[in-house]
Amino acid sequence: MGKKRVMVPAKELELSTVKYEKETILAPHLTGSILKLFVRIIEIPIIGSLIISFMKKENNMVEMLQNTEIPEKPMFKPEFPPQVRNLADCLCDIKPEAEPSVVIVDEEGKPTDRVESALKCLPHYDPASCWSGDTLPSFQYWKIRDFAYAYRSKLVTPSKIAEQIITLVEGCKYHKPPTPLLISFDAEDIRKQAAASTQRFKEGNPLSILDGIFMAIKDDIDCYPHPTKGASTWMHEVRSVEKDAVSVSRLRSCGVIFIGKANMHEFGMGTTGNNPNYGTTRNPYAHERYTGGSSSGPAAIVASGLCSAALGTDGGGSIRIPSSLCGVVGLKTTYGRTNMGGSLCGSGTVEIAGPIASTVEDVILVYAAILGSSPEDRISLKPSPPCLPILSSVENVNILGSLQLGKYTEVNWNFPLQWFNDVHSTDISDVCEDVLNLLSKSHGCKTIEIVIPELHEMRIAHLVSIGSESLRSLNPDIEDGKGVKLNCDTRTCMALFRTFTASDYVAAQCLSQPKEEGYDEENKNWAKLAGQTGNWRRRIMHHHMEIFKKVDVIVTPTTGMTAPKIPPSALENGESNMQVSGYLMRFILAANLLGLPAITVPVGYDKQGLPIGLQLIGRPWGEATILRLASAIEELCAESRRKPASFHDLLKTK
């Protein structure tokens, strides 16, 4: 046991003493037969435990979790304090008014009504001009409003679009290299849905602006009659799907057509999208590169133009990472804002379901349909009423100009590295910095220097949280013999998670506090660990809430690197590359550990032509603010948007 590290209370931490430390992950990069051998070794009871214990010690996890004394009491799921909009409100103890220029929607009402409200919030747009070829930029994605116009004008029908999609999906297996986008696909089911939508348009009675819009659903969310496998080879054998997930049901009531279950990293336990079970989805901008994960299929499907939107889940950047790497928009909502019923990760404390789309306005439309907390979360989290930004209002420009953006800049000339520019290539930080300057010049947004303490502790706390919850969810089936059917990188993760001895505690009393002594007799290690993890979450929540008294949004690059190359040796047996994961997750984790809303919006490209995303992190329940700002950023960057190498124009004009 090393020397005890004693933390001062979070409220007393002097920010001038905080020094940003570059993240260094000490772990081997393994693929192919070497990875298979490594997995077999670490699964040997005594030897494996020694190897993993050594790796944990080398990465300071032991010091962080066992040799640190933290004065704060645990927080085992996000707990949001009352929100203040600025420092003056905080000092005067004034409860702030609701954000201006928003429309409040009824989360218990009809999804179609919420979508209609969202449609009225959007700025003026004339789809007819796109069809005539007037004022078109070099490249733009077709919006949901374009499809709705085409259907209503009888230029095309959902059934005709369905046939194009079916042909394209069925042709994916013949591509070289193969581009597996969907795990479950039923052409006749698509035709049936499309025929019903076509008939509604023929009768002049579409259900909503989303009627006839094609979407893909990530394979950890139920979409009847498709099985839910989590991209594994066996989950559908032990878990049947009897109905749609809550979010899918809400979309279906708006007339959405589902093309199937999209590919993903097995059980979401990876950041690249690698999947030997069904093939690895390729990045539409460069087929030799990863899409990012774990929502790899949804992001690639949207980026390639096959669907206007898709539904993903995000427990550690799984919506934002692939959206950024594929050049599309991805929204991670506040924890509890959407109902997770009917998803494989529905019982965790870091995951949400959210939309991926080619444009911010399409994200808003899908978000309006799926939002609405579960009854349990409405009681425990007490969410603020959901609201949408009125982008069409004359006030919108003034509101944008009043926004304060927080950027972590190290004010130590002897240590020039900043969190914001701790990236694999300066192309990323340069592009993101340019966008912030453009926001200041065009809208008057002010960028304020902030300091975010204990970033390394946040990474460890997130790893323990999502790891123990994943283990708790899968352990019964693993103990029943399914563990050997997992991919090698998934088995590597599970071996690490087992050393946390977390599953019993999480399963028994996920939200209760350990005994005052910090352990119990039956599960000494886990109770102590759980307390530390919960303590870190409370401390880090405090740090972020203090920051949000000064700023409206925290801005970062979405990822620390653009799309990494796919090693050929990783296709058959997978890959374990913690250094790549570290870069991809560098700016991601606060939104998951603390339950904050965040969005990634494409802002440019690196020198290799690969997409770069800018991430906006908002206050709890502050989706309207980040959506408003994301829309403004999208408009500023519209002319620089490039068509992916693999793109399907479903509404191609003649």
Label residues 431-455 b or e (16+ Cβ within 10 Å = b). Answer: bbbebbebbeeebebebeebbbbbb
For residue 131, being part of any structural domain is answered with no
Query: What local confidence, expressed as pLDDT, does residue 514 receive?
Result: 35
Structure tokens at 464: 């323990």
Query: What local confidence, expressed as pLDDT, does residue 409 receive?
Result: 79
Q: What is the CA radius of gyration of the chain?
A: 24
Decide: 297 and 259 in contact? Cβ < 8 Å: no
Query: What local confidence, expressed as pLDDT, does residue 472 receive?
Result: 87
Is the bond preceding residue 249 a cis peptide, omega within 30 degrees? no
- Residue 155 neighbours by CB distance under 10 Å: 14
DSSP letter assigned to residue 372 = B
Q: How many domains does the chain have?
A: 1
For residue 528, being part of any structural domain is answered with no
Query: What local confidence, expressed as pLDDT, does residue 129 receive?
Result: 84
For residue 523, being part of any structural domain is answered with no
Beta-strand pair 575-576/446-450: unpaired
Query: Which one of 117, 159, 232, 294 is the catalytic residue?
Result: 294
For residue 545, being part of any structural domain is answered with yes
For residue 136, being part of any structural domain is answered with no
- The number of C-alpha atoms within 13 Å of 184 and in the hemisphere containing its C-beta is 22
Which residues are CB-contacts of 579 (< 8 A; sequence separation ≥ 6)? 25, 27, 29
Which residue, among 315, 143, 309, 320, has the nearest Cα to 216 in the 3D structure? 309
Query: What local confidence, expressed as pLDDT, does residue 509 receive?
Result: 30
Query: What local confidence, expressed as pLDDT, does residue 411 receive?
Result: 54
Query: Which one of 304, 318, 323, 470 is the catalytic residue?
Result: 318
Regions in the chain scoring below 50 on pLDDT = 91-96, 502-524, 526-527, 654
Distance CA 390, CA 369 (A): 16
Decide: 329 and 599 in contact? Cβ < 8 Å: yes
What separation in angstroms does the CA of 338 have from each of 21, 107, 468? 35, 9, 22
Label residues 584-617 b or e (16+ Cβ within 10 Å = b). Answer: bbbbbbbbbbbbbbbbbbbbbbbeeebbbbbbbb
392 is catalytic: no
For residue 91, being part of any structural domain is answered with yes
Q: What is the mean pLDDT of the chain?
A: 90
Q: Which amino acid is at 557?
A: P
Residue 243: which CATH number?
3.90.1300.10
Decide: 259 and 648 in contact? Cβ < 8 Å: no
Distance CA 617, CA 653 (A): 38
Tens of pLDDT, residue by residue over 470-489, are 998 999 999 999 999 999 99
347 is catalytic: no
- Residue 52 neighbours by CB distance under 10 Å: 18
218 is catalytic: yes
Range of the structural domain that residue 101 is part of: 1-9+17-124+142-513+534-653
Decide: 641 and 137 in contact? Cβ < 8 Å: yes
Query: What local confidence, expressed as pLDDT, does residue 615 receive?
Result: 99
Angle of helix 488-498 relative to helix 45-58, nearest 10 degrees? 80
For residue 129, being part of any structural domain is answered with no
For residue 519, being part of any structural domain is answered with no
Which residues are CB-contacts of 625 (< 8 A; sequence separation ≥ 6)? 99, 389, 403, 552, 553, 618, 619
Residue 388 dihedral angles phi and psi, to the nearest 5°: -120, 145
Q: Is 237 helix (H, G, I), strand (E, B) or coil?
A: helix
With 0-12 CB in 10 A as exposed, 13-18 as middle and 19+ as buried, what is 409?
A: middle
Query: What local confidence, expressed as pLDDT, does residue 532 receive?
Result: 63
